[in-house]
Amino acid sequence: MAFYVQKYGGTSVGSTERIKNVAKKVAKFYAQGHQLVVVVSAMSGETNRLIALAHDIQENPDARELDVMVSTGEQVSIALLAMALMTLNVKAKSYTGSQVRILTDSTHTKARILSIDEARIRADLDAGFVVVVAGFQGVDEKGSITTLGRGGSDTTGVALAAALKADECQIYTDVDGIYTTDPRVVAEARRLNTITFEEMLEMASLGSKVLQLRSVEFAGKYKVKLRVLSSFEEGQGTLITFEEDENMEQAVISGIAFNRDEAKITVLGVPDHPGIAYQILGPVADANIDVDMIIQNVGHDGLTDFSFTVHRNEFKNTINILKEKIQPHIGARDVLGGDRIAKVSVVGVGMRSHAGIASKMFRVLAEEGINIQMIATSEIKISVVVDEKYMELAVRVLHKAFDLEQAL
Do 365 and 275 form a contact (C-beta atoms < 8 A)?
Answer: no
Is residue 209 near its own copies by the rule CB under 8 A? no
User: Cα–chain-centroid distance for residue 255?
Assistant: 16
Say which DSSP state 64 is in: H
Do 81 and 22 form a contact (C-beta atoms < 8 A)?
Answer: yes
Is residue 40 near its own copies by the rule CB under 8 A? no
Applying CB under 8 A, which of residues 10, 61, 97, 220 lies at the interface with its own copies? 61
Shortest distance, position 94 Cβ to its own copies, whole Å:
5
Do 208 and 347 form a contact (C-beta atoms < 8 A)?
Answer: no
Residues between 89 and 118 with contacts to its own copies, criterion CB under 8 A: 93-94, 96, 98-99
Nearer to its own copies among residue 78 and residue 248 (C-beta): 78
Is residue 54 near its own copies by the rule CB under 8 A? yes
Binding mask 7-26 for its own copies (x = CB under 8 A): ---------x--xx------
Applying CB under 8 A, which of residues 12, 35, 47, 71 lies at the interface with its own copies? 71
Is residue 27 near its own copies by the rule CB under 8 A? no
Spatial distance between the Cα atoms of 377 and 293, rounded to a whole number of angstroms: 9
Shortest distance, position 196 Cβ to its own copies, whole Å:
39
Do 159 and 116 form a contact (C-beta atoms < 8 A)?
Answer: yes
Do 226 and 211 form a contact (C-beta atoms < 8 A)?
Answer: yes
Residues between 141 and 160 with contacts to its own copies, criterion CB under 8 A: 143-145
Indicate the burial class of 163 (C-beta count within 10 angstroms; 0-12, 13-18, 19 or more).
buried
Nearer to its own copies among residue 95 and residue 197 (C-beta): 95
- Tell me how crowded residue 336 is: count the other CB atoms within 10 A of its CB: 14
Is residue 53 near its own copies by the rule CB under 8 A? yes
**N-term to C-term CA, the chain:** 32
Do 307 and 264 form a contact (C-beta atoms < 8 A)?
Answer: yes
Binding mask 73-92 for its own copies (x = CB under 8 A): --xx-xxx-xxx-xx-----
Residues forming contacts to its own copies in the complex (CB under 8 A) are 16, 19-20, 50, 53-54, 56-59, 61-62, 64-66, 68-69, 71-72, 75-76, 78-80, 82-84, 86-87, 93-94, 96, 98-99, 120, 143-145
